[in-house]
């Protein structure tokens, strides 16, 4: 019986590239636990790779690069700026539909801030000094988390900043990340990662901004799993294992065109 199930699972993976546990339980008439044991055995044999909610082919897993040094903010801001502008515009369009908006640190979130300057009845919360400054004089109420300031990034962090925002609930949170793989979301900094996790815990709608250069890239800190976000805004549709993992995690992928930044 298990041999037949394994053959069926591998057959589906060969034709579709990915498969969900729920699909297999319905087709094979067995429990989730049985299917998960099958996937564990097949992964142990190197026949597939498990992801949240299912599995993907090992053959479609591209290499993952490791970024160990965080580039300076201004250098990151210049890299692919038109792409980041387009992503920022899409993110602002979504976020502007909500009243309480949390905005993370990062170059793309910084570029998003000017698009929110016309909001009349919003409350905007951030741990980015740059984002707060970009919203100076805007009608929205702007709240900056108090704490120690991290040099270059100009982000606030520490116990006081975490405590302030941990006690709140946001309609939407917009996060910047340094990389994304089927294993989740990544960032360079321990300090900033703690606040990113607060945003993931304390928001109804969680949006990650990530240009395609960051696909299949890891850095020091794993922020969370793909299931921790609802929307990914990027400039190119992911492919292969990353696309399968995002689909299994039910992440809504929005592709922004660079033409939107003009």
Domain boundary residue among 59, 80, 105?
Answer: 59
Do 108 and 232 fall into the same domain? yes
Our count of domains for the chain comes to 2
For residue 1, what are the contacts with CB-CB under 8 A and spacing of at least 6?
Answer: none
Query: Token digits for 189?
Result: 């900094």
Q: What percent of the chain has pLDDT over 70?
A: 96
Pairing of strands 141-144, 123-126: parallel
H-assigned helices in the chain: 2-16, 21-28, 32-44, 73-78, 81-95, 107-112, 129-134, 159-166, 190-201, 240-248
Domain CATH number, residue 38:
1.10.10.10
Residues 240 and 129 reside in one and the same domain: yes
Dist CA 168 CA 147 (whole Å): 16
Q: Are residues 38 and 147 in the same domain?
A: no
pLDDT given at position 154: 95
Inter-axis angle of helices 2-16 and 21-28, nearest 10: 130
**202 is in which domain, residue-wise?**
65-261
Shared domain for 54 and 84, answered yes or no, is no
CB under 8 Å to 52, separation ≥6 — which residues? Answer: 225, 226, 227, 245, 248, 249
Distance CA 215, CA 213 (A): 6
> 84: which 2 tokens?
């980041």
What CATH number did the domain enclosing 169 receive?
3.40.50.1360
Q: Would you tell me how many other CB atoms lie within 10 Å of the CB of residue 59?
A: 12
Please check whether residues 228 and 126 belong to one and the same domain: yes
Alpha carbon distance 96, 117 (integer Å): 10
pLDDT for position 245: 86
Q: Do 33 and 95 lie in a common domain?
A: no
Per-residue pLDDT of the chain (262 residues; tens, 9 = 90+): 788 888 888 878 877 778 889 989 998 989 999 999 999 988 887 778 888 888 887 755 556 777 878 889 999 999 899 999 999 999 999 999 999 999 999 999 999 999 999 999 999 999 999 999 999 999 999 999 999 999 999 999 999 999 999 999 999 999 999 999 988 999 999 889 999 999 999 999 999 999 999 999 999 899 999 999 999 999 999 987 788 889 888 999 999 986 544 4
Q: Which residues contact 27 (CB under 8 A, 6 or more apart)?
A: 8
Q: Tell me which DSSP letter residue 128 carries.
A: B
In this structure, are 36 and 158 located in the same domain? no
The answer to whether residues 52 and 75 belong to one domain is: no
Give the Cα separation of 53 and 248 in Å (integer).
6
Residues 85 and 200 occupy one common structural domain? yes
Q: Are residues 98 and 50 in the same domain?
A: no
The pLDDT of residue 13 is: 80
What are the contacts of 242-245 at 24+ separation with CB within 8 A? 242/62, 242/180, 242/181, 242/182, 242/215, 242/216, 244/17, 244/18, 244/51, 244/54, 244/56, 244/60, 244/182, 245/51, 245/52, 245/56, 245/181, 245/182
Given this model, what pLDDT does residue 61 score?
52
Q: What is the pLDDT of residue 194?
A: 95
Residue 132 and residue 221 in one domain: yes
Same domain, yes or no, for 53 and 164? no
Last residue of a domain, one of 59, 84, 104: 59
Partner residues linked to 18 by β-bridges: 56
- Supply the DSSP string of 211-254, one letter for each residue: -GGGBTEE-SEEEE-GGG-SEEEESS---HHHHHHHHHTT-EEE
Final residue before a domain boundary, out of 59, 78, 102 = 59
Q: Can you read off the two tokens belonging to residue 215?
A: 């696909």
């Amino acid at each position: 019986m298990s041999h037949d199930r394994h053959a069926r699972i591998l057959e589906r993976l060969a034709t579709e590239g990915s498969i969900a546990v729920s699909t297999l339980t319905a087709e094979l008439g067995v429990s989730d636990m049985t299917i998960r044991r099958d996937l564990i055995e097949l992964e142990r044999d190197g026949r597939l790779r498990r992801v949240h909610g299912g599995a993907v082919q090992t053959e479609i897993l591209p290499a993952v690069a490791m970024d160990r040094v965080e580039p300076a903010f201004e250098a990151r801001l210049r890299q692919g700026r038109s792409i980041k502008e387009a992503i920022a515009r899409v993110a602002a369009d979504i976020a502007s539909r909500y009243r309480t908006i949390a905005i993370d640190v990062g170059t793309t979130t910084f570029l998003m801030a000017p698009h929110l300057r016309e909001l009349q009845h919003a409350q905007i919360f951030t741990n980015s000094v740059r984002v707060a400054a970009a919203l100076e004089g805007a009608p929205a109420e702007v709240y900056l988390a108090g704490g120690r300031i991290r040099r270059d990034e100009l982000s606030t962090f520490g116990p006081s900043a975490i405590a302030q925002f941990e006690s709140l609930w946001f309609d939407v949170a917009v996060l910047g990340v340094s990389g994304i793989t089927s294993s989740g979301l990544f960032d360079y900094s321990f300090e900033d990662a703690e606040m990113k996790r607060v945003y993931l815990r304390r928001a109804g709608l969680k949006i990650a901004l990530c240009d395609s250069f960051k696909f299949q890239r890891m850095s020091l800190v794993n922020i969370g799993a793909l299931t921790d976000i609802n929307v990914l805004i990027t400039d190119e549709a992911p492919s292969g294992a990353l696309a399968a993992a995002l689909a299994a995690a039910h992440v809504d992928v929005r592709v922004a065109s660079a033409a939107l930044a003009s």
